[in-house]
Structure 1
Amino acid sequence: MTSRTLKALLVGAVAALGLTAGATLAADAKTKVAFVYVGPIGDHGWSYRHNEGRLAIEKAFPGKVETTYVESVPEGADAERVIQQLAAKGNNLIFTTSFGYMEPTLKVAARNPKVFFEHATGFKRSANTATYAAKFHEGRTVIGLIAGKMTKSGVVGYIASVPIPEVVSGINAFTLALKSVRPDAQVKVIYVNSWYDPGKEAAAAKALLDQGADILTQHTDSPAPIQVAEERGVYAFGQASDMTKFGPKAHLTAIVDNWDNYYVARTKAVMDKTWKSGDVWEGFETGMVALAPYNPVLPKDVVELAETARKDIIAGKRHPFTGPILDKDGKERVAAGKTATDPEILSMDWYVQGVSGDLPKK
């Protein structure tokens, strides 16, 4: 696997001579940057945070860039049409921000070799298509520890979007951390088969609470589960952004996605004619993954446990997937003293022990 550090990306951008591929920019022309979002920018989650990154570009380069976006674009044929339209409109750099946009992005990139493309959470690249993602599983480890300390029933509900490796690895990291402090705990998962559907997310949250869960976490984009938790008097963790305002009593913390620095750096690379295709996968260390402020209700020792884990992950002293790790069937997936490799994490299609139910087929 190629180097996935933002620092290396920036160094390479500065050192490179000329464009690898892409549009030639006139000296006085504005750099045009476009975004494609799977949900609305008002989702207060995934698309909201990507849009904050778009705004960071405008702030970093006043008068030198022109940004646009298209929101709530379904994955599939519609995505290809929208991406092609953005390329045809003269955008120099196009960010496509959902896993299901991978193939459409590559198809449009092949037809538009003078345009740069960046695909979030994908694994396929080309001369003018780069990929980037965040190590969300690092955040899942920390909130799993918190959940293990705060649950009374020992049952935690997990509202999931779709069963792809990014989501599965998060469920596994959360469960491993949870059980490290509460060995008898279990995680019940409900997939809503959508990244953003407040109605389905709320219904899943209620169902999980009715099944005995007293803490909710999510890998979906709306604050609906937080609102349900607030109404039902239980705790919950937000997703992608700080969702405290939707449940001040319920919201313990959130895994925050921070794309700002990456988007600014990649835009600058286009402007400097140093853009190169590559792959970035970062977490706590570079700030691409962060945690929202801890709810004051958390005991001091719980906060200390969480912060120690976060700092140890940054320092390389702790890895979310350190063996021995067994899957639900008892098969050893990571040997004692070993850690899962990046490719293994990025292709997870199995549950660890402690997750209730079977992993659905895509």
Structure 2
Amino acid sequence: MNSDSLNRRKSLQTLAALTAAGTLGSWAPRALAQKPLTVGVIYVGPRDDYGYNQAHAQTAAEIKKLPGVKVVEEENVPETSAVQKTMTGMIAQDGASLLFPTSFGYFDPHILALAPKYPDVRFSHCGGMWTEGKHPKNVGSFFGYIDECQYLNGVIAGHMSKSGKIAFVAAKPIPQVLRNINAFTLGARSVKPGITCSVIFTGDWSMAVKEAEATNSLADQGCDVFTMHVDGPKVIVETAAKRGKMVCGYHASQAKLAPNAYLTGAEWNWFTAYKTAIDAAQAGKPHPNFLRGGLKEGYVKMSPYGSMVTDAAKKQADGIKVQMVAGSFDIFKGPLKDNKGATVIAAGKVLKQTDPVLEGMNYLVEGVQGSF
């Protein structure tokens, strides 16, 4: 734990006195114009994980360059009451009035426990399911339609796979993860209808040993193109490359880790969401409670293609990407069955990215081999 973290922990001892004195509720929109906006960014893992945390850290580095913005950060904060202590320390010690607690498990109960206590502090959570009328107005949720990029990953995988078996190493079967698995599979099956995607869930966001075991197991099963949804893809990328397999990355670019195996990847561009929340705070406007966007809105992007990707693969993926940016391509449309044979989207029905049904996805599509 660094000295800043230790000082934040010590500051909790004085917090009760500050609260009793009524000083913590003194921040108001007019104060934001008189001094820099202090923004706190909290990571569940290391900032250099080649994955989820690094994608947020890259954005934190960018917002530090914005006028009138001061950034404080803390990494390796677990999804426990520890994050409440970190957030409280940033508020009490650093004067943070806008927080970006980035991990999924920070939302409930931790952000929801603190937000009512600090109504003048804004909480922007990545991936949280903010609901109007249910959650505090000073809490917001932002996320990107990265399933668009995972679909494009799947298109590339479909072209490049020789075995007709692709693989997905995932952390937990939450809707966002299932949506990515399904999009990757549907992208591949748009190229090769008979292709299958085998999935293994490790059980948590960062489990290096299990991620390596899952990658090796899937390689043993004949899968030759891998992608993933874990916090740090480094182990999966390197293990797959050592086994002579190909990889589509996730969160940030992992091309440097395996230049001869990296095909492309689905990357976040969190600056768009961060800047929107910061602009609202600096202007004293209401906190943006629900932010979503895809390729068109600049929330996500694709990694450059590796040298081994064929021209035919690039042409098809690029063509679909143009349609996605134009808003004329839909990933989830009927007829669509799950991997148990039940119809989940009826013929003729199309689910747009903004459809709330997609926010609660709870199935794996036909072609996915695995369960949860």
SS in 1 for 2:264: strand
In structure 2, distance between residues paired with 1:26 and 1:288: 27
Q: Does the CA contact (< 8 Å) of 1:159 and 1:205 recur in 2? A: yes
Of 120, 130, 143, the residue aligned with 2:126 is 120
Matched, 1:276 2:276: no
Q: Residue 88 of structure 2 aligns with which residue?
A: 84
Question: 1:292-333 deviations in whole A, cap 9, x for unaligned?
Answer: 100121111110111111111121221110211111222211
Alpha-carbon offset, residue 26 of structure 1: 5.2
Of 26, 35, 42, the residue aligned with 1:29 is 35
In structure 2, distance between residues paired with 1:26 and 1:167: 37
Q: Residue 12 of structure 1 aligns with which residue?
A: none
Look up the equivalent residue of 1:85 and give its one-letter code: G
In structure 2, distance between residues paired with 1:181 and 1:216: 16
Q: Does the CA contact (< 8 Å) of 1:35 and 1:97 recur in 2? A: yes
Q: Residue 203 of structure 2 aligns with which residue?
A: 193
Larger Rg: 2
Q: Within 5 A, what are the aligned runs for 1:325-344? A: 325-341=336-352, 342-344=355-357
Alpha-carbon offset, residue 94 of structure 1: 0.4
Q: Residue 219 of structure 1 aligns with which residue?
A: 229
Look up the equivalent residue of 1:111 and give its one-letter code: K
Cα distance change, pair 22–199 in 1 and its aligned pair in 2 (3 A): farther
In structure 1, distance between residues paired with 2:230 and 2:250: 7
User: Greater CA deviation, 324-333 or 194-203?
Assistant: 194-203
Matched, 1:356 2:369: yes
Q: Residue 135 of structure 1 aligns with which residue?
A: 145
Q: Within 5 A, what are the aligned runs for 1:6-17? A: none
Q: Residue 67 of structure 1 aligns with which residue?
A: 71
In structure 2, distance between residues paired with 1:158 and 1:248: 20
Of 238, 242, 253, the residue aligned with 2:253 is 242
Q: Does the CA contact (< 8 Å) of 1:148 and 1:178 recur in 2? A: yes
Q: Residue 161 of structure 1 aligns with which residue?
A: 171
Q: Could you say which structure has the greater relative contact order, defined with CA pairs below 8 angstroms and 6 or more residues apart?
A: 1
Q: Does the CA contact (< 8 Å) of 2:240 and 2:246 recur in 1? A: yes
In structure 2, distance between residues paired with 1:196 and 1:248: 23
Q: Does the CA contact (< 8 Å) of 1:22 and 1:113 recur in 2? A: no
Q: Residue 96 of structure 1 aligns with which residue?
A: 101
Alpha-carbon offset, residue 22 of structure 1: 6.4
Q: Does the CA contact (< 8 Å) of 2:277 and 2:288 recur in 1? A: no
Q: Does the CA contact (< 8 Å) of 2:337 and 2:343 recur in 1? A: yes
Q: Residue 10 of structure 2 aligns with which residue?
A: none
Q: Residue 327 of structure 2 aligns with which residue?
A: 316
In structure 2, distance between residues paired with 1:22 and 1:140: 42
Q: Does the CA contact (< 8 Å) of 1:23 and 1:92 recur in 2? A: no
Count of residue pairs the alignment pairs up: 337
SS in 2 for 1:318: coil
Q: Within 5 A, what are the aligned runs for 1:106-117? A: 106-117=112-123
Cα distance change, pair 276–209 in 1 and its aligned pair in 2 (3 A): same
In structure 1, distance between residues paired with 2:259 and 2:343: 41
SS in 2 for 1:238: strand
Cα distance change, pair 22–313 in 1 and its aligned pair in 2 (3 A): farther
Q: Does the CA contact (< 8 Å) of 1:60 and 1:264 recur in 2? A: no
In structure 2, distance between residues paired with 1:129 and 1:207: 41
Look up the equivalent residue of 2:172 and give its one-letter code: V
Q: Does the CA contact (< 8 Å) of 2:263 and 2:309 recur in 1? A: yes
Cα distance change, pair 134–317 in 1 and its aligned pair in 2 (3 A): same
Alpha-carbon offset, residue 238 of structure 1: 1.0
Cα distance change, pair 28–298 in 1 and its aligned pair in 2 (3 A): same
In structure 1, distance between residues paired with 2:32 and 2:269: 31
In structure 2, distance between residues paired with 1:339 and 1:274: 35
Question: 1:259-294 deviations in whole A, cap 9, x for unaligned?
Answer: 113212321221121242420111100121100100
Look up the equivalent residue of 1:94 and give its one-letter code: L
In structure 2, distance between residues paired with 1:127 and 1:31: 19
SS in 1 for 2:344: strand
Alpha-carbon offset, residue 198 of structure 1: 2.9
Q: Does the CA contact (< 8 Å) of 2:80 and 2:106 recur in 1? A: yes
Of 26, 50, 54, the residue aligned with 1:48 is 54
Structure 1, unpaired ranges of 5+: 1-20
Q: Does the CA contact (< 8 Å) of 2:273 and 2:291 recur in 1? A: no
